[in-house]
Amino acid sequence: MNTTTTITTTITNMAVPEAGGATAGDLRLGWRRVDGPLADVLRAVLAERPGFAGATALLSTPSAFRLARLRADGTCVTADGTAIHPDDVFEARAFTADVELRWVRRLATGEGVLLGEDVTGGAEATGLGAHDGHYLLWGEHEPAADRAGWRGLSSHRIGLLLVPVEDGVAAAAKNRLRLVVREYFAYDLPTAEPDPCADALDARGHGNAYVLDERLVRVEAYAPIRQTGAQGIDLGEQHG
């Protein structure tokens, strides 16, 4: 999905996993097709997973890219409560901390996939590692634009952007928001006994790994560090 109007293209690809997180090689990622018109797909996912209500939705229409919140009845609403008609959407991504739905229109119907670490009934990959990455959202906090469950961001480039957030994020003093993603990486296991010399590269006996997929997880508040050069010159924000 092209979200360059709202999200920077720089991602922290090699962020260190948080303490207590999963170690490399003990995760699975499952995915399953969920095809049909968007309205039917959303209702089907909600019937299976009632906790999907409240998901953050990124919706592309011919006229605009929209941020919305998914309701329990399957409608996607903007900050002012306006429902976005599913027939107007040609590409969608909706996510909670546990799963992500991706959908794209195909003529009068559509093709979708649901993916997450507990998704079953389709394909899966096991023995994965993971780490978190981040996409910085354009704009700084505009408190006057905040609404219940939404936080306003503003910049000269995009104007005002209202982002659905959780209560803890809405109350945070940090002036930026970023989209947290989880990258899953897989290993190419050797087909024969590994060379003992390769152990220095990887405990599994080889040095090859690749990113299998990237799942949207949440929006969080963020405070970048400002860099200062000689004579106190402001060098801008540092994002890590």
Burial degree of 130 (CB within 10 A; 0-12, 13-18, 19+): buried
Q: Domain for residue 209, yes or no?
A: no
The pair of structure tokens assigned to 176 is 């930026």
Predicted confidence (pLDDT) at residue 78 exceeds the cutoff of 60: yes
Which of 24-28, 143-147, 228-232 is predicted with the least confidence, judged by mean pLDDT?
228-232
Q: Where are the alpha helices (DSSP H) in the chain?
A: 38-48, 167-170
Q: Domain for residue 123, yes or no?
A: yes
Helix (H, G, I), strand (E, B), or coil: what is residue 196? helix
The pair of structure tokens assigned to 217 is 């997880």
The DSSP annotation for 3-65 comes to -TTTEEEEE-TTPPPPTT-PPTT-EEEEEEE--S-HHHHHHHHHHH-GGGTT-EEEEE-SS-E
Strand pairing class (65-70; 7-11): unpaired
Most confident among 17-21, 24-28, 45-49 (mean pLDDT): 45-49
For residue 40, the model assigns a pLDDT of: 98
Q: Domain for residue 94, yes or no?
A: yes
Beta strands in 107-149 (DSSP E): 109-116, 123-137, 140-141
Q: 137 - beta bridge partners?
A: 7
- Which residues touch 26 (CB under 8 Å, ≥6 apart)? 127
Most confident among 25-29, 195-199, 208-212 (mean pLDDT): 25-29
Count of domains for the chain: 1
In this prediction, residues 91-104 reach a mean pLDDT of: 98
For residue 226, the model assigns a pLDDT of: 55
For residue 162, the model assigns a pLDDT of: 95
Domain interval for residue 40 = 24-182
Nearest to 31 by CA among 214, 218, 185: 214
Contact yes or no for 70/53 (Cβ under 8 A): yes
Q: Domain for residue 200, yes or no?
A: no
The pLDDT confidence band at residue 191, using thresholds 50, 70 and 90, is low
Q: What average pLDDT does the chain have?
A: 82
Contact yes or no for 103/58 (Cβ under 8 A): no
Tell me the per-residue pLDDT of 100-142, one tens digit each, with 9 for 90 and over.
999 999 999 999 999 999 999 999 999 999 999 999 999 999 9
Helix (H, G, I), strand (E, B), or coil: what is residue 71? coil
Predicted confidence (pLDDT) at residue 22 exceeds the cutoff of 50: no
Nearest to 85 by CA among 105, 102, 100: 105
Predicted confidence (pLDDT) at residue 232 exceeds the cutoff of 90: no
Q: Domain for residue 217, yes or no?
A: no
Q: What pTM did the predictor assign?
A: 0.79
Most confident among 23-32, 45-54, 228-237 (mean pLDDT): 45-54
Q: Domain for residue 193, yes or no?
A: no
Q: What is the DSSP letter of 143?
A: G
Tokens 């505009």 correspond to what residue? 142
Q: Domain for residue 219, yes or no?
A: no
The pLDDT confidence band at residue 158, using thresholds 50, 70 and 90, is confident
Q: Domain for residue 117, yes or no?
A: yes
